[in-house]
Amino acid sequence: MGEDGRTFLRAIGSETYGLGKQRDLQRSQNRVRRAGTVVDDATVGHSGDADPDQSKTYWMLGPGDEEFLTQSLQVHFVELMPGGNNFGHGHQNEAHFYILEGSGYEIHDGKRYDWEKDDLVIVHHDSKHQHFNKSKTERALALVLKAKTSWMVLGLIQQGRSGKIKDEAGFGPREDWTQLWSRGWEEKKKVITPKDTRWEITRDGNVRVILSPKRTDARTHSLDLYQQKIDVGSRSGKHWHMADEAVYVISGKGHSLHWDVEAEIDDRYYARVAKEPTRWEFSTGDLLYVPHNTVHQHFNADSKEPLILLSATNRLYAHLGYDNVAHLEDAPEYTGDRGEARKAVAAAD
């Protein structure tokens, strides 16, 4: 907890040697945050970073929430008024801006990057960044997804706005910070456009992968992200992975079935999947949370329009050895033939 009252990392503890109560508490919470939910209006964290008549920041999911769900993912919005911009700041963690409305540009470390609706803009780690709305008549709106606590728990906490360092006489002249980065990092993509991706029929359904470990040209380490389209009367595949997941409903309505999983630790770890799922209804602008180690499946409930979802997971789980997805039921559109699947996507578009 910071001195100003902002929660950066939430402590997790127990009076006895066991964390079952913590897991049960998290799983008992509502897994849908309704459109318009504001859990933090940035009066503490970002109050000095923008003129509120030009730019606003507000959180939908984060470690300071009550009721608490997760700190592996954080979700907030940045709204830029017509012609507006923020003042700019820097932090060691990455951030990912999915553009929901409008067009504009970024200034990152003195370089300009233009963006428009449905682009993904990557704020790389250790980046001084500032956001600008090009339009003088329309607002711009970005959904921001990040795994900030992954940096925090490792002690990478330097952030803020420009200013003199304390005891400046005790330090030498400025040096190039980037000499500590991976080689070739600055040549990778900062803006991922729809043209940089493709829709494919997979075991999970019709998806457009935006970020994944296989995408080696993107300037990010921490997030996996894909967009999913579920047609009228259809559903996603039913699958299971260890990472928790934040799913933003771009358009449409539907529900998600969740089968909680318990661990039975005997001669080894065994998974015990609930016989009956819980059901979670959602619509446009809602945020669905899928807890860790949960079997889940999404359904379109709209009789006229497809359901469009944006799904994010923290890539750290894959680095820790949980990099597999167990597919328990394929989406109806999947045939197992990649060539036929691509033809189906082309026909649908």
What is the C-alpha to C-alpha distance for residues 44 and 6, in angstroms, rounded to an integer? 7
Compute CA distances 289 → 193, 307, 311, whole Å: 26, 17, 10
Tell me the CATH class for 196-348. Answer: mainly beta
pLDDT tens digits, residue range 106-116?
999 999 999 99
- Whether the per-residue pLDDT at 2 is higher than 50: the answer is no
Tracing tokens 């979802």 back to the chain, one arrives at 309
- pLDDT at 17 (0 to 100): 73
Domain ranges of the chain: 20-162, 196-348
State pTM to two decimals: 0.93
End-to-end CA separation in angstroms for the chain: 48
What is the C-alpha to C-alpha distance for residues 137 and 309, in angstroms, rounded to an integer? 28
Asked if residues 160 and 181 have their Cβ atoms less than 8 Å apart, the reply is: no
Q: Single out the residue of 302, 331, 322, 337 nearest to residue 238, CA to CA.
A: 331
Pairing of strands 205-211, 223-230: antiparallel
Q: Single out the residue of 142, 107, 149 nearest to residue 11, CA to CA.
A: 149
What is the C-alpha to C-alpha distance for residues 294 and 243, in angstroms, rounded to an integer? 9
- Whether the per-residue pLDDT at 6 is higher than 90: the answer is no
Question: Which CATH superfamily does the domain covering 20-162 fall into?
Answer: Jelly Rolls (2.60.120.10)
20-162 and 196-348 agree in CATH topology = yes
What is the C-alpha radius of gyration for the chain, rounded to an integer number of angstroms?
A: 21
Pairing of strands 159-160, 103-108: unpaired
pLDDT tens digits, residue range 225-256?
999 999 999 999 999 999 999 999 999 999 99
Token couple for 62? 């984060």
Q: How confident is the model at residue 292 (pLDDT cuts 50, 70, 90)?
A: very high
